[in-house]
Amino acid sequence: MALQFDTFAQQRSRGRSKGLQVAYVSSYPPRECGIATFCQDLVLSTRGCDGAGEPMVVAMEHAAGRQSYDAPVAFTVDDRSLGDYLAAARFLNDSPAEMVCLQHEFGIYGGFEERSMHAFLRLLNKPLVSILHTVIPDPGAAPRALTKELAWHSDRLVVMNSLAKDILARDYGISPLKVELIHHGAPYFPQSKRETAKQELGLGGRRILSTFGLISRGKGLEYVLEALPAIIAQHPEVLYLMIGKTHPGVVLHEKESYRDELNRRIEELGLGDHVAYVNRYLTKAEIIQYLSATDIYVTPYLNPNQITSGTLAYAMAAGKAIISTPYLYARYLLDEGRGLLVDFADGADLGRAVNHVLGDPVLQKQLEEAAHFYGQGMLWTVVGRQYIDLFHQVLAERATTGAVVAASNRAYGDFALQNYEV
């Protein structure tokens, strides 16, 4: 559905958008979703680059959770409606957008991509860069086919982990030449603000462990609770902050049953004075403040194949001492001494690692300095520039080969769309 604000075409007609014009396809705030936040940050960071014009967004929506948007959202898609996907492709084809950037995560496109998002791709006739937020190792037939088709329609795929590039080549047969590595972006974190941030949050005198993000069972938070008695025995000043609300999809299907289980465990272990919730979807400023107050950031996630994590990227940019289970993104990001890895679903191992760091100020400082140094290459000011450079590179390649590619795509799209009912 097209929206009636100051959109791309209007801006261009008044001469306000003279640079590269990019359309982003994604969920988008105010929808509470990590991909939505990522896309908003990407839009803002690329918009601030030299040579960039005014962006526009095609926002994906659940029918049960319709949102009210402001610019740059210019079109919305009900993720269950094939007609909306095709209308969005026609909207973009008729727009002055020179480039389309699509955020890909399984589930955003209604759970039936072969009938929806892929119909959109077959009709789209603009250059396309697709960002892969999930890359599944050794995939089944369905995710392999879906990812390969997305790759076929894309001029370039972006991954945030070098291991994902290897997986795409090995398990999907996708050429590494088509895959670009760009870090997950993160905001700038002022340094040397830990005690000030603690005082501002009423946490003075505490050693802070934290996790943040939408809460669900796969986060493994129960294993931090399991580790706390051994940690508190050595460091009674420790407070563990679970920052974030329950994932809306989890609430829809099981209400707050996971949080209820965590609460029972807190009571059983007598942790009431050592655990606190921050039960809301945080603003960027709040995330910066809570991470600034953190002594050790923990990601006890349970999925070994998780290929990226925005929260871990933020903690790295914040220069935190990080302890994590060895899922794929943590193995990549915490390599070369940038953090500590512990076993999956093992509260005892996690407790030992936390006590090791809290008991060794030199080690904690080394971990913080290594994370901070590496994290400066992950700031959105850097990442946004890399995306704009990639978009320009794709357009330059299209200038020499695009006519043939575009004609082939259109012919394939015309053929494929005969199999869909609009």
Q: In this predicted model, what pLDDT tens digit does every residue of 135-162 receive, in sequence order?
A: 999 999 999 999 999 999 999 999 999 9
Question: Contact 350/230 with Cβ under 8 angstroms?
Answer: no
Question: For 62, phi and psi rounded to 5 degrees?
Answer: -80, 140
314, 320, 378 from 374: Cα distances, Å: 12, 11, 8
User: Which residues of the chain form CATH 3.40.50.2000?
Assistant: 8-185+379-417, 194-378
In 47-155, DSSP assigns E strands to: 56-61, 73-78, 99-104, 128-132
Q: Which of 336, 337, 316, 312 is nearest to 325 (CA)?
A: 312
Query: Does residue 412 surpass a pLDDT of 50?
Result: no
Mean pLDDT, rounded, for 93-98:
96
Cα(276)–Cα(287) distance, integer angstroms: 15
Q: Which helix (H) or strand (E) holds 340?
A: strand 340-341
191 versus 295: the higher-pLDDT residue is 295
Mean pLDDT, rounded, for 343-365:
98
Query: Does residue 15 surpass a pLDDT of 50?
Result: no
Percent of the chain predicted with pLDDT > 70: 89
Mean pLDDT, rounded, for 371-386:
97
**pLDDT-derived band of residue 17, with 50, 70 and 90 as boundaries?**
low
**pLDDT-derived band of residue 405, with 50, 70 and 90 as boundaries?**
low
Query: Does residue 399 surpass a pLDDT of 80?
Result: yes
Q: What is the pLDDT of residue 418?
A: 46
Q: Which amino acid, residue 337? A: G
71 versus 250: the higher-pLDDT residue is 71
Architecture, CATH, for domain 8-185+379-417: 3-Layer(aba) Sandwich (3.40)
Q: What is the pLDDT of residue 51?
A: 82
56-70, 176-190, 205-219, 325-339, range with the lowest pLDDT: 56-70
In 198-295, DSSP assigns E strands to: 207-212, 238-243, 275-278
Percent of the chain predicted with pLDDT > 90: 75
Give the largest CA-CA distance in the chain: 68
Mean pLDDT, rounded, for 260-286:
94
Q: Which helix (H) or strand (E) holds 288?
A: helix 284-292
CB atoms within 10 A of CB 175: 11
Q: What is the pLDDT of residue 3?
A: 61
Q: What is the pLDDT of residue 66?
A: 77
Q: Chain-wide mean pLDDT for the chain?
A: 89
**pLDDT-derived band of residue 111, with 50, 70 and 90 as boundaries?**
confident
Q: What is the pLDDT of residue 64?
A: 60
CATH of domain 194-378: 3.40.50.2000
| pTM for this model (two decimals) | 0.89
Mean pLDDT, rounded, for 83-96:
96
